[in-house]
Amino acid sequence: MAVPKRKVTGAKRGMRRSHDRLKKASYIEDKDSGELRRPHHIDLKTGKYRGRDVLEPKED
């Protein structure tokens, strides 16, 4: 039966878990409207994606 020879230290455990953290969401400034939006996502205010009309603009 496989049993660990020694206890894994807290430092080693922390190094292994360091990649499991949540990354901060990135935002870019839209060239047309100047609003912040997620990269590779449709701008909901203008309804454009990569300079083309994709959706109807959202009304406030």
User: How many Å from the N-terminal Cα to the C-terminal Cα in the chain?
Assistant: 64
pLDDT, tens digit, 9 for 90 and up, residues 43-53: 888 888 888 88
Residue 43 counted as domain residue: yes
pLDDT attached to residue 43: 84
Check whether 60 has a pLDDT greater than 70.
no
pLDDT attached to residue 55: 86
Residue 50 counted as domain residue: yes
Give dist(CA 13, CA 36) in Å, integer.
37
Residue 14 counted as domain residue: no
Query: What is the domain range of residue 44?
Result: 24-60
- What total number of domains does the chain contain? 1
Residue 57 counted as domain residue: yes
pLDDT, tens digit, 9 for 90 and up, residues 4-40: 889 999 999 999 999 999 999 999 998 877 888 899 9
- Is 29 in contact with 38 (CB distance < 8 Å)? no
Residue 45 counted as domain residue: yes
Residue 51 counted as domain residue: yes
Residue 53 counted as domain residue: yes
